[in-house]
């Protein structure tokens, strides 16, 4: 099978405008994401709607494709980019443009999900640990996932799921393995085309989680496990944390 990685990157982020062009350890965030992906998959490119990002990617020698400014989700942007540059590939991997520490092992874990020929969509989870604590577990900005016995996702939620009846909340991480969702997706090419034509669903609107649209429409999401922590950059404060992480771990 042939895999192409597409990195959606837009300029107009509400919480952190121009985020892909923010500097992190002497390189732009988008360059760091691209370099983490390039070489692990069969090909990689950035999908953007902004000429400044396009110029920055070309400046470091990366591949980039311009897409519409009207997309409502990164998935829609990935689909347009795939239609332009992705012919001949079997699986599209959607790598968020604000994940500069995405690891080759995580990409390989998502690729391995397609060893099962029935896999339509794949994503990653990381088990919460006791040391993470209740505060991290209940953080609504960190979606949780429950899976079935075949490692297919049953549900994603910003709430803590499952609820442990009769157990003090401080004990939940000791009594059950909770999974944190890592926002890395891969899709068979025909499935990507189909899901971008689906209307928003009730559960998606309730939780503001796009993947619930796919589950509500009967698609299966295979889940791979990673034990590697990543740092997504949503705010300028996150960028400061990423700088510290880079100094400590990427010497």
Cβ-in-10-Å burial (0-12, 13-18, 19+) of 74 comes to buried
Tokens at 1, concatenated:
């099978």
The total number of residues written for the chain in this structure:
251
Q: What is the mean pLDDT of residues 18-23?
A: 94
222, 113 Cβ separation under 8 angstroms? yes
Helix (H), strand (E), coil (C) string for 85-112: HCCCCCEEEECCCCCCCCCHHHHHHHHH
- Give the tens place of pLDDT for each residue, 97-155: 999 999 999 999 999 999 999 999 999 999 999 999 999 999 998 999 999 999 999 99
Tokens at 153, concatenated:
């996702």
141 and 87 assigned to the same domain = no
Establish if 19 belongs to a structural domain: yes
19 and 138 assigned to the same domain = no
CATH number for the domain that contains residue 218: 3.90.550.10
Establish if 239 belongs to a structural domain: no
Strand, coil or helix: 27 = strand
93 and 158 assigned to the same domain = no
The total number of structural domains that make up the chain:
2
Establish if 247 belongs to a structural domain: no
Element (H, E) at 203: helix 202-207
Establish if 163 belongs to a structural domain: yes
38, 29 Cβ separation under 8 angstroms? no
Domain boundary among the residues 100, 123, 146 is at 100
Tokens at 109, concatenated:
């874990």
Q: What is the pLDDT of residue 15?
A: 78
Q: What is the DSSP letter of 152?
A: B
Say whether pTM exceeds 0.85.
yes
114 and 223 assigned to the same domain = yes
Establish if 187 belongs to a structural domain: no
8, 97 Cβ separation under 8 angstroms? yes
Tokens at 72, concatenated:
């409502």
CA dihedral 34, 245, 144, 19 (to 10 degrees): -50
Establish if 249 belongs to a structural domain: no
Domain boundary among the residues 36, 66, 100 is at 100
Q: Write down the residue that tokens 């939780």 correspond to.
A: 207
119 and 168 assigned to the same domain = yes
Q: What is the pLDDT of residue 51?
A: 96
43 and 75 assigned to the same domain = yes
94 and 107 assigned to the same domain = no
Establish if 248 belongs to a structural domain: no
List, as one string, the DSSP characters of 67-91.
--S--SSHHHHHHHHHHHH-TT-SE
- Residue-range definition of the domain harbouring residue 171: 103-181+199-230
- Give the tens place of pLDDT for each residue, 180-195: 999 899 999 999 999 9
Establish if 245 belongs to a structural domain: no
Distance CA 82, CA 111 (A): 18
119 and 217 assigned to the same domain = yes
Q: What is the pLDDT of residue 91?
A: 98
Q: Hey, CA dihedral for 76, 80, 82, 83, is it positive or negative? A: positive
Neighbours of 160 (CB within 10 A): 18
53 and 137 assigned to the same domain = no
CA dihedral 166, 172, 174, 175 (to 10 degrees): 50
């Amino acid at each position: 099978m042939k895999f192409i990685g597409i990195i959606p990157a837009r300029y107009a982020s509400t919480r952190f405008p121009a985020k892909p062009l923010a500097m992190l350890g002497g390189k732009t965030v988008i360059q760091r994401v691209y370099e983490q992906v390039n070489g692990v998959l069969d090909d990689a490119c950035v999908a953007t709607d902004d000429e400044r990002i396009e110029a920055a990617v070309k400046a470091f020698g990366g591949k980039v494709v311009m897409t519409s400014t009207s997309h409502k989700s990164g998935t829609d942007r990935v689909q347009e980019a795939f239609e332009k540059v992705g012919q001949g590939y079997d699986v599209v991997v959607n790598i968020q443009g604000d994940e500069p520490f995405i690891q080759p092992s995580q990409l390989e874990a998502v690729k391995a999900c397609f060893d099962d020929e029935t896999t339509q969509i794949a994503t990653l989870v990381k088990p919460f640990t006791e040391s993470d604590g209740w505060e991290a577990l209940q953080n609504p900005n960190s979606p949780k996932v429950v899976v079935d016995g075949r490692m297919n996702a049953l549900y994603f939620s910003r709430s803590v799921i499952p609820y442990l009846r009769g157990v003090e909340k401080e004990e939940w991480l000791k009594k059950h393995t909770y999974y944190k969702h890592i926002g890395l997706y891969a899709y068979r090419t025909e499935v990507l085309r189909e899901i971008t034509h689906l209307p928003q669903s009730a559960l998606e609107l309730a939780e503001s989680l796009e993947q619930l649209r796919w589950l509500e429409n009967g698609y299966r999401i295979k889940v791979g496990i990673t034990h590697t922590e990543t740092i997504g950059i949503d705010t300028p404060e996150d960028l400061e944390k990423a700088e510290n992480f880079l100094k400590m771990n990427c010497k």
